[in-house]
Structure 1
Amino acid sequence: MQLSDGNNTLVDTNLWHALDDSVDVTNLDAMGKLERIKSTLQNARVMPSLGGQTGAYFTKVTLNIPQKGQYFVIVNANFIDIGLVSYSSSYQPTPTFQVFSQLEDDSTPPLLHFQAITVQTATENEQVDLWLLVKAKQFPTPVSLSILDSKEFYQYQKFNNGISIAGVTAMLILSLLAVLIYTGTRKRVALTCAGYLGFHGVGWAAASGMLNDIFDFPFNSSYGGILLFPFAIACAAQFVSDLFECRTDHKKLFTFLKWLSVTSFILGAAMWFMPFTLAYLLSHLLAMFWIVLTIIIGVGMLKKRDFRAKYFLVGNVLYSMTLGYYIAAHSQYFGELAYSESAVIFALSLDCLCILLCLTEWFKLKQKEFTRNQYLSRIDSMTQLGNRFSLSECIQQIPDCYVIVYIDLDGLKSINDRSGHDEGDKLIVKTASLLQQTFYSLGDVFRSGGDEFVVVLKATSANSIKNVAENAFAQMSELSNELGKQWRDAGVSYGIATSLEAKEPSECISLADKRMYQHKAKSKHPHSHKTLNPDFAVLLALTWASL
């Protein structure tokens, strides 16, 4: 092959020869292995392609290299258990041996997903003979050879490794964030999300060869990416179920996802004990099924206006597109397509980001539901005033100087009996509206019972309490007159107490309540409180004296 500057590719069509099963290369050194296979070249079976094959294969390639210097040969295979190369030239007739398997690739710069071989030439137009041996449990794709000069290789390495490292790192960080969210919330959806993201991150770190580069494993960890994938799907199915609250809102989908999760987990455990070729096939069939399923679920949830699905659908569509690109790149029909593995990892990292955004949307929705429920639990639905719970919260935070007005409607029963409860409800709503209009800038108004209201008025100082109380007294008289204009029997009884008369707000409310009943008892008829009862006036006078 005559090389040109930059990137040169040898497709794997009829490139590789099958190593006879009788040739055992396991216990030989590098030189012994290559010398043994050279003797079998003439009788070796030529392979149309290594895609889908398993076992050991070798090839001889002659390269015409125009410039002296360092070149790199990339063997485009994901799983290499044994990789050996011998190269010689007319200038360097003594063979140079290298090992480039997943377990032993220290002689060349690290290249994720694939293995690289260095070829050093000393003269221009040097002819180099390469003998290569590769062995793997599975060659899932055609195994081509890319020959790059130094500049092209380091650019390729930087881009390929950079995307893969960034993608795997992003997946693992997002998984850690989901774990932290779980520790703070104890919500199962965060834990299943962490499993979904974490298994994908660790799986691709293994499949790319990153784990073997970081840790000194005595085995080829790249197979682990395939074996871990079903566990990722098991977590993913549970995450989808939790995300869309299928247990309560989509029971049929909940049952389906539960069994898919169980089946994926069992399959993941069983795959460690079956031939890798079968495990590889099952794992990829599961991946294709999952992608189709997630797109169907995402579209279905958007149709139901569940907008948690927007990020979920975007991430999975992007991931499915790159998987299509990956499949095309490893077929005989499209030839070499650049960075197919890196594209899948990059898309998957974006998908994982979308999954975490789905999780945040879930928590936002739960926060809105919590806020709404909290609001409803503290607001009276008829009058939109705070209820007894809101009153309790208010008095816990009340300042030192305050005035309490306890109010009870008069004439409500007679109005209900004469005109019906709808008319009585109108009286209650009207009273609440007048109280809000009267005291909105001075304090807070609460409906503490059926026809009872409490007003908490804030005073700026102890000296201003008397003025606040007197103003409240005047306003209550006007409010009672206003109700009497619309309903003949309507009015209010009320009691006023101040913070100077009680140690605790609850005591002050009890005192105001007591005075309200005194006011009601001394009223001569349902709306006689429009004119202050003399005995009640004396009670107020004593109160003012204490101020």
Structure 2
Amino acid sequence: MLSYLQCLRALCFFSLAVVFPVLGEVVDLKNGKVTLQDSHIWRELPASIELANIDSATLLLPLQTGYEHLPIAPSLGGESGSYITKLLLKPSADGRYFVVINANFIDIGLSAYVSGSQSRPQLEVFSQLADDATPHLLHFQSFAIQVNESETVELWLVIKAKQFPTPVSISFYDPATFYEYQIYNNGLSIAAITTMTLLALLAILVYLSTKKRVALTCAGYLGLHGIGWAAASGLLDDLFNIPTNSTYWGMMLFPFAIACAGQFVSDLFDCPSNHKKLFRFLRVFSVISVVLGVTMWFLPFTTGFLISHLLAMVWMILTLSIGVTMLKIRDYRAKYFLTGNLLYSASLGYYISAHSHYFGELPYSESAVVVALSVDCICILLCLAEWFKLQQIEFNRNYYLSRTDAMTKLGNRFALSECIEQLNGFYVVVYVDLDGLKTVNDRNGHQEGDKLIVETARLMQRSFSHRGSVFRSGGDEFVSILHAQSAPELEELTKSCRSHMDALSYELSQAWRRAGVSFGIATSVECDSAKDCIFLADKRMYQYKSINKKLA
């Protein structure tokens, strides 16, 4: 069936060459690359011609007036429909040359070429939907022609698309130059798309482990961009042989990617709590993006193309403004965010310049955009990492504050409870109650009493921090838990604790009259559990206090 259609199309183009024998653009094929710019080289085919079911009758009948009478398009940039051109190629050597049509979207692409030594035209099909036999070139379509140095080649091209976003130039490569270009073009694009996809999967894994929405919106941001560019470049069709022209999908998925991006920015900078106006704006912007994304699938592609580009312009201005604003208020999550978007904006400027008449064709413009976007996605994931880092810092800070006594900087009752749960082996518990605090408060004020508490904490830290931990378990109560390696060492440690506590009590009494400490000591060998040890030390402390009161 395929060969039958090819014969019909070859006959069609051969008929074109005979019926309309007019001169076309002359191209001198040289070693390397030669590009024919899109300037009055294409002629518009009548809308009545249905290229999807082309044969000699259906094509030739509307063209009775001749090729030279078809309207000339100054440029295909921004146009849509079906166009034809005739080129005269003058080779500089025998062999193969590769023809590249520099257009993103090609629904139908047909070519036929003839030379003096050929008895019939050679047909090539290079559309997105029939590119199995052509060299795979992401973002563009290509095919090969066989030429002889001594013969001029007459090449006819027909292309059809819903939208030609940029001028459609035609490039001719010798094999070595083409393969080098193919490696760089495809390699950069595949690496960039793979990077975006893997980063999106990583963000999903982060979401599954943390359940934080910021990771999910980040995954949507990265993943939809990756899928969109895989579709727009033609990679998705190459991998899965999709029956429709999937290159349009990149543009159609873009609003959904922007919606996820808007929510990611809102989550990244904690807008619901810290920037309420921006939060409301981004929420409305995301909803509008989703509505436009759904609506675009039911509109003409040219309208959807315009909507996506307007969204892109608004989003780039918005992200740059947000990035600069966040840096001004020292939110350093914005450093990666702004860097990625600046790079992506620069690549878009390069892309636009590459397809303008002022700068001419610039190399790898499509690849530059997709690579810049992949770097932007890396920066976005770094933003996510920075968000989690700040969350961890905040958690650690709250954790510290919740387990630290604000006055003495010792561990509080919560920290003591955690320590008790983890106790094992040989240890000593010293339970301390501060004496004379009420007297100091009554005579010198609570500020002086606070100084007494702080000094007691300092002296206990000095005495015991090298062997364990000190906690403030209540207003004037302290607990030290000290560790030993063996029973004999435990006995020595107990004696040392008594000596230290007597010295501490004496030192306090020198600074504050009638101040001192009552203490009780218990060891792990005396008790079945840590809680029992605490209870025994507390009991002995009260016994010590009672004896001191009687002596006083």
TM range (shorter): over 0.9
1:188 aligns with 2:188: no
Matches for 1:350-429 after TM superposition, within 5 Å: 350-429=375-454
Residues 341 and 33 of structure 1: is their aligned pair in 2 closer, same or farther, counting only changes over 3 Å?
farther
2:262 is matched with which residue?
237
Post-superposition offset of 1:343: 0.3
Q: Which residue pairs with 1:23 in the alignment?
A: 49
Map residues 56-205 of structure 1 onto 2, 5 A cutoff.
56-121=82-147, 123-205=148-230
**1: CA distance between counterparts of 2:338 and 2:33?**
37
Q: TM-score normalized by structure 1?
A: 0.94
Q: Deviations over 1:411-448 (max 9, x none)?
A: 11111111111000000000000111111222211110
> 2: CA distance between counterparts of 1:445 and 1:33?
95
The secondary structure found in structure 1 opposite 2:129 is coil
Aligned equivalents of 2:193, 2:154: Cα separation in 1: 37
1:408 partner amino acid: D
Query: What 5-or-longer segments of structure 2 have no aligned partner?
Result: 1-26
SS of the equivalent of 1:268 reads: helix
Q: Deviations over 1:117-161 (max 9, x none)?
A: 21112x323211011110000111111100111111111111111
**CA distance in structure 1 between the aligned counterparts of 2:48 and 2:502, rounded to whole angstroms:** 111
Q: CA deviation at 1:209?
A: 0.8
CA 1:424–1:46: 2 relative to 1, 3 Å: same
* Aligned 8 A contact 2:90 2:149 in 1: no
Distance of aligned partners of 1:69 and 1:77 in 2 relative to their CA distance in 1, 3 Å threshold: same
Q: How many residues align?
A: 525
Deviations, residues 38-82 of structure 1 (Å, cap 9, x unaligned): 754132111111111111010000100111101011111111001
One-letter identity of the residue aligned with 1:27: N
Residue type of the alignment partner of 1:192: T
Tell me the secondary structure at the aligned position of residue 68 of structure 2: coil
Cα distance per residue 1:94-139 (max 9 Å; x no partner)? 1011111101012221001111021112x32321101111000011
Worse-superposed segment, 490-499 or 235-244: 490-499
Equivalent pair of 1:498/1:508 in contact (CA under 8 Å): yes
Q: Is the 8 A contact 2:91 2:151 kept in 1?
A: yes
Q: What secondary structure sits across from 1:26 in the alignment?
A: helix
1:2 counterpart SS class: strand
Q: Which moved more, 1:466-475 or 1:204-213?
A: 466-475
Aligned partner letter, 2:403: R
Would you say the 8 A contact 2:413–2:473 is kept in 1? yes
Whether 1:47 and 2:47 are equivalent positions in the alignment is: no
Q: Distance in 2 between matches of 1:126 and 1:163?
A: 37
User: Are the structure 2 counterparts of residues 125 and 6 from structure 1 closer, same or farther at C-alpha, using a change threshold of 3 Å?
Assistant: farther
- Quick one: which amino acid aligns to residue 303 of structure 1? K
Q: Equivalent residue for 1:290?
A: 315
How far, CA to CA, are the matches of 2:351 and 2:480 in structure 1?
Answer: 70
| Cα 1:34–1:87 shift into 2, 3 Å | farther
Q: Does residue 35 of structure 2 align to residue 9 of structure 1?
A: yes
Q: Which moved more, 1:380-389 or 1:199-208?
A: 380-389
The answer to whether the 8 A contact 2:51-2:108 is kept is no
Secondary structure of 2:52's counterpart equals: coil
Q: CA deviation at 1:37?
A: 7.6
In the alignment, which residue of structure 2 is the partner of 1:452? Answer: 477
- Pick one of 218, 221, 228 that aligns with 2:243: 218
Give the corresponding residue for 2:531: 506
Whole-Å Cα distance in 2 between the matches of residues 443 and 108 of structure 1?
75
1:275 aligns with 300
Please name the residue that 1:257 is paired with: 282
Q: Is the 8 A contact 1:399 1:458 kept in 2?
A: no
Instruction: Say what the alpha-carbon RMSD is for the aligned residues.
Output: 1.4
Kept after mapping to 2: 8 A contact 1:407/1:516: yes
CA deviations 1:319-363 (Å, max 9, x no partner) are 000001111112222221111110000000000000000100111
Q: Counterpart amino acid of 1:514?
A: K
Q: Which SS does the other structure have where 1:17 is aligned?
A: strand
The amino acid across from 1:312 in the alignment is F
- Partner residue, 1:534: none
**Is the CA contact (8 Å cut-off) linking 1:445 and 1:454 kept in structure 2?**
yes
Identity %: 59
Amino acid at match of 1:451: D
- 8 Å Cα contact 2:434-2:516 kept in structure 1: yes
Q: TM-score, normalised by structure 2?
A: 0.93
1:252-283 Cα shifts (integer Å, max 9, x gaps):
11111111111101110110001100100110
**Offset, 1:34:** 6.6
**Equivalent residues of 2:49, 2:58 under 8 A apart:** no
Whole-angstrom distance in 2 between the partners of 1:458 and 1:22: 93
